[in-house]
């Protein structure tokens, strides 16, 4: 009795010591790893964690209990890598890299066309390589189709990422790979998966055994013998020695259906080969007399052996068994039909070769930004007109959202990152030009609360028998209960001194935007502002001038429409 009590007491002490050490190791995860070292002040550390056991034995006990991760035998490298400070540093670096990539993509999306943007993401930034590594080489086809869609969109529409993504959502394009396309690869497929496909060489690799017998269902349908059209009766299947003749016949019918399905799959497999069909398999230790009777190998071998005229048997070096080879018999040459002159009594109508047009609606597309690029005051060759215009539009888009006192510093900070090649003087001049436009008294309303930067819209305007499509990307827009005010920024080096000297194509562009906004936002007065950033100078185009320009624009088929 005393010995059992002593044993129980020691067992309880061992378990308590194990729990104490487990808690000590658990707390060590939140401390520097040097804290795991033995503390001379603790009795457990001096004695080895319990009841006179040696430290080595205690350590083995905890390893078997799953607490060896923070033990003394863990390598110093593992302890350093699992330290909280190192984990936080690794996590921060990983997210910082992803944040940097997203930041670069956001900046590129502001001024790149869809094809250029996605080419950079998939090419220079390694997106294609990563997707193929994750999804396999089949993903290359979808990526190529995606880039092709972006290029086709740019040639047919006004290029913008918003419009391209909207087109993809509406189109719901589905890319399907041609599985019959030739490639240097071996495809391993099931018989069900190859239906409808064909390959030059097909190998049936496992044909010597029958499929495993499926467990027969406990409920078997039994059709009445008298009435063939009557529904079957569902009978609970008893043991074979207790089954009636009708139930035995129903079971045999079910087995025959499975055999027929097995042979139908063989037909599918045999008809997938275009040139060469190989039927083979391996025998197991229980198949002393060859392949199972009724297996695919047995069925094919019996069928070919019956056609002795076209079957040959031979041996090869890698097998002791004979190989049965059946070749397609040679077909006799076909007699060529003589050339005969056929007289056509009926003639095709004239309209058969004419181009199809919709009798109800003829859709044409208007490009508001159709102005010739060679106009003198549109170019700024010394400063890079296109790059400068993009930077200026970006400043005019973002700076109004900031406080007045923070705008200049934010502009210089953005230009230092977006245009590092520009000199400090050029960046300061560009920032002051944008700030002067925002601070202009005539622009207070267009940059005020509720205004939007660079919205996009596509309007369809009916003009008699045709429909005019106008894609528009407006620099600044303000919609109130009564008015619609929009502005278009021009970064010409020499802005016009008066309203009469404004180029005609600028007026036509605003007229197209006005027509699109009037159709999208009816029952409001549409006001157009033309803002030249160099001075800055603000011109509000009269409504009569815009209407006259719109009427003239609809007649310029060669320049405005496509």
- Residue whose tokens read 């943007």: 117
Among candidate residues 290, 321, 298, the one with its CA nearest the CA of residue 204? 298
Q: For domain 376-560, which CATH number applies: 3.40.50.2300, 3.40.190.10, 3.90.320.10, 3.40.50.720?
A: 3.90.320.10
Among candidate residues 347, 437, 441, 424, the one with its CA nearest the CA of residue 395? 437
- Is the peptide bond prior to 30 cis by the omega test (within 30 degrees of 0)? no
Instruction: Report the interhelical angle of 424-439 vs 385-398 (nearest 10°).
Output: 50
pLDDT for the residue numbered 337: 62
Q: How far apart are the first and last CA of the chain?
A: 105
- Residue whose tokens read 């670096």: 93
Q: How far apart are CA 371 and CA 381, in angstroms?
A: 18
pLDDT for the residue numbered 26: 42
Contact criterion met (CB below 8 Å) for 368 and 509:
yes
- Residue whose tokens read 């003829």: 362
pLDDT for the residue numbered 230: 75
Q: How far is CA 317 from CA 138, 311, 322, 323, 425, in A?
A: 38, 20, 11, 11, 84
Chain centroid to CA 350: 48
220 DSSP β-pair partners: 235
pLDDT for the residue numbered 383: 45
3-state secondary structure of 226: coil
Instruction: Report the interhelical angle of 161-171 vs 139-156 (nearest 10°).
Output: 120
Contact criterion met (CB below 8 Å) for 540 and 529:
yes
Domain boundaries, the chain: 2-71, 86-171, 192-326, 376-560
Q: How would you classify the pairing of strands 476-479 and 483-490? A: antiparallel
DSSP state of 326: E
pLDDT tens digits in sequence order for the chain, 562 residues long: 444 444 444 445 545 555 555 444 444 444 444 444 444 444 444 444 444 444 444 444 444 444 444 444 445 544 444 444 554 455 567 788 888 888 889 888 888 889 999 999 998 889 999 998 888 777 888 888 888 888 888 888 888 888 888 888 887 666 566 555 556 678 888 888 888 888 889 999 888 888 876 566 777 787 777 666 778 778 777 777 777 777 788 878 878 888 888 899 999 999 988 889 999 888 888 888 888 888 999 999 888 888 877 788 888 777 777 888 888 777 777 666 666 666 767 777 777 777 765 544 456 667 665 543 333 344 444 445 678 888 998 999 999 999 999 999 999 999 998 888 889 999 999 999 999 999 999 999 999 999 999 998 888 888 877 888 888 889 999 999 999 999 999 988 788 989 999 999 899 999 999 999 998 888 999 999 999 998 899 999 999 999 999 988 887 654 444 4
CATH architecture of 86-171: Orthogonal Bundle (1.10)
428 DSSP β-pair partners: none
Q: How far apart are CA 49 and CA 47, in angstroms?
A: 6
Contact criterion met (CB below 8 Å) for 24 and 16:
no
Q: How far apart are CA 382 and CA 377, in angstroms?
A: 13
Q: Strand ranges (DSSP E) for 264-317?
A: 273-279, 311-316
pLDDT for the residue numbered 368: 63
Q: How far apart are CA 514 and CA 528, in angstroms?
A: 7
Q: How far apart are CA 558 and CA 425, in angstroms?
A: 43
Give pLDDT tens digits for 208-242: 888 876 566 777 787 777 666 778 778 777 777 77
Task: Give buried/exposed letters for 294-320 (b at 16+ CB in 10 A, else e).
Answer: ebbbbbbbeeeeeeeeeeeeeeeeeee
3-state secondary structure of 96: helix
Q: How far apart are CA 399 and CA 432, in angstroms?
A: 12
Phi, psi at residue 295, to the nearest 5°? -75, 170
pLDDT for the residue numbered 292: 87
pLDDT for the residue numbered 381: 43
pLDDT for the residue numbered 95: 81
As given in the structure block, the two tokens for residue 34 are: 């040097």
């Amino acid at each position: 009795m005393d010995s059992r009590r002593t044993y129980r007491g020691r067992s309880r002490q061992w378990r308590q010591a194990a729990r104490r050490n487990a808690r000590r190791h658990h707390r060590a995860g939140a401390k520097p790893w040097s804290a795991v070292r033995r503390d001379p002040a603790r009795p457990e550390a001096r004695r080895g964690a319990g009841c006179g056991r040696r430290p080595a034995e205690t350590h083995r006990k905890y390893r078997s209990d799953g607490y060896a991760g923070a033990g003394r035998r863990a390598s110093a490298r593992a302890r350093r890598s699992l330290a909280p400070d190192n984990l936080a540093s690794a996590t921060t670096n990983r997210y910082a890299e992803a944040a940097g990539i997203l930041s670069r993509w956001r900046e590129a999306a502001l001024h790149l066309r869809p094809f250029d943007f996605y080419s950079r993401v998939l090419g220079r930034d390694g997106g294609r390589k990563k997707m193929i590594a994750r999804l396999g080489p089949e993903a290359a086809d979808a990526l190529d189709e995606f880039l092709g869609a972006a290029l086709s969109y740019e040639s047919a529409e006004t290029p913008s990422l918003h419009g391209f993504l909207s087109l993809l959502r509406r189109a719901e394009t589905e890319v399907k790979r041609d599985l019959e396309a030739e490639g240097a690869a071996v495809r391993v497929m099931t018989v069900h998966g190859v239906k409808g496909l064909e390959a030059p060489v097909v190998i049936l690799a496992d044909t010597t055994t029958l499929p495993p017998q499926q467990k027969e269902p406990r409920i078997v349908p039994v059709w009445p013998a008298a009435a063939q059209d009557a529904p079957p009766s569902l009978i609970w299947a008893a043991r074979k020695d207790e089954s009636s003749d009708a139930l035995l016949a129903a079971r045999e019918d079910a087995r025959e259906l499975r055999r027929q399905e097995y042979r139908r799959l063989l037909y599918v497999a045999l008809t997938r080969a275009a040139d060469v069909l190989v039927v083979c398999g391996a025998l197991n230790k229980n198949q002393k007399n060859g392949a199972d009777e009724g297996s695919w190998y047995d069925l094919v071998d019996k069928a070919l052996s019956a056609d002795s005229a076209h079957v040959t048997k031979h041996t090869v070096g890698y097998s002791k068994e004979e190989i049965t080879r059946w070749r397609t018999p040679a077909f006799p040459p076909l007699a060529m039909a003589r050339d005969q002159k056929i007289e056509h009594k009926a003639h095709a109508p004239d309209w058969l070769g004419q181009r199809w047009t919709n009798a109800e609606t003829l859709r044409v597309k208007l490009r508001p930004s159709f102005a010739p690029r060679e106009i003198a005051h549109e170019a700024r060759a010394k400063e890079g007109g296109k790059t400068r215009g993009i930077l200026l539009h970006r400043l005019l888009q973002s700076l109004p959202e900031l406080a007045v006192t923070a705008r200049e510093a934010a502009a210089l900070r953005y230009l230092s990152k977006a245009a590092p090649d520009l000199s400090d003087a050029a960046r300061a001049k560009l920032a002051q030009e944008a700030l002067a436009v925002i601070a202009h008294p005539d622009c207070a309303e267009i940059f005020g609360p509720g205004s939007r930067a660079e919205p996009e819209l596509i309007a369809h305007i009916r003009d008699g028998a045709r429909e005019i499509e106008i894609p528009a990307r407006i620099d600044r827009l303000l919609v109130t209960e009564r008015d619609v005010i929009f502005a278009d920024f021009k970064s010409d080096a020499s802005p016009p001194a008066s309203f009469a000297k404004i180029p005609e194509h600028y007026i036509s562009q605003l007229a197209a935007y006005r027509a699109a906004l009037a159709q999208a936002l009816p029952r409001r007065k549409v006001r157009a502002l033309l803002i030249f950033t160099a001075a800055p100078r603000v011109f509000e185009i009269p409504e009569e001038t815009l209407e006259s320009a719109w009427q003239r624009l609809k007649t310029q088929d060669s320049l405005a429409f496509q």
